[in-house]
A = this chain, B = another copy of it.
Amino acid sequence: MILGIDIGGTTVKCGIVSHEGEISEVRVFSTPGWVESKGFVESLKIEIGNYLKDFPSIKGVGMGFPGLLSPDRKKVVLLANIPSVVNAPVIELLNSTYPGIVFRMENDAKCAALGEHYFGENKGIDNYMMITLGTGVGGGIIIDKKLFIGARGNAAEIGHVLVSNGKTLEKNIGINHLIKIAVEKLKNYEGKSLLKGKDITPKVISECAAQGDELSKEIWKSVGYYLGEALVGVIRLFDLNTFLIGGGISGAFDHFVPEMTRVIKENLPSYYTDDLTIKKAKLGNDAGLLGAAGLIIENFNLEREL
């Protein structure tokens, strides 16, 4: 039995994951709540303990952290939202508290890529990149059926490459930034817009775009434009031709894909675009939790034939 833990800036989602990728016994906690009460690491330790008590057949715990990890995957080295976890000896602490249990950690976006690798539609595909569009914009790259972690362990950070307005991709299309930009555009917009008077969220912008609202369509076009620019670079640097898009913003896939595709085709020769596949990920919000559990499957060599 495996426990998967998907740690985000807002919530920590835990669940038992079967070898077939079914999730059960889900428990969701508030990340700031953990930080403010007993401290993040202590709360993590306690809640893992509760699972181990309730489900004594758990053999391993896989965790996804929304930050940069040490090359040996024993601690977090950069995580702005949860400073107390940075450089804390998380794996060492859990190992000494719960001997006999296997603990593994990985970056959350890389977990999402692994989730698709073990349980998703891209099972069996040798090379692809999974891009998670949420509050953060993250990436996980699978090369030759293995997670590519780069020179020092934290590769594939597509959210932080620069695009043509001189800002990072995340500062253009990460959910909070996107909302802020949309609100600003709406304020300065002289035409009529269905967005006016509404509480702006990606979902609302998608709904209005679906109803033909010009400003909403323009906002998604801009998302597609910057994502396309970043992808041109990634394609040239990794020679990848398969991409999965997941995360909250992927709900607007159909709205931003045309412009994204236009930018890519405008900037790349046919060698790169002929067999290019960019599709919406199917696992949805569970990809990260499933990928975290996948770390343990990998550890026990229990993976199914891919």
Contact = CB atoms under 8 A, between A and B. Distances in A.
A12 to B, nearest CB: 24
B150 A239 contact: yes
Nearest to A230: B233
A68 B269 CA distance: 11
Given A78-B271, A168-B267, A271-B77, A236 B149 contact: no
A245 interface: no
Interface in A157-184: 157-158, 160-166, 168
A194 interface: no
Given A143-B151, A151-B143, A152-B127, A158 B237 contact: yes
A238 B143 contact: no
A269 B86 CA distance: 14
A149 B148 CA distance: 12
A150 B238 contact: yes
A233 B269 contact: no
Nearest to A156: B237
A154 interface: yes
A240 interface: yes
Contacts of A127: 150-152
A68 B149 CA distance: 24
A234 interface: yes
Given A127-B152, A164-B165, A267-B168, A236 B78 contact: no
Contacts of A166: 164, 229
Contacts of A162: 163-164, 229, 232-233, 267
A153 interface: yes
A155 interface: yes
Interface string A255-289: 00000000000011101000000000000000000
Interface of A: 68, 77-78, 126-128, 139, 143, 149-158, 160-166, 168, 229-230, 232-234, 236-242, 267-269, 271
19 contacts: A78-B271, A127-B150, A143-B151, A150-B238, A150-B240, A151-B238, A151-B239, A157-B239, A158-B237, A160-B232, A160-B267, A160-B268, A162-B163, A162-B164, A162-B229, A162-B267, A164-B165, A230-B233, A233-B233
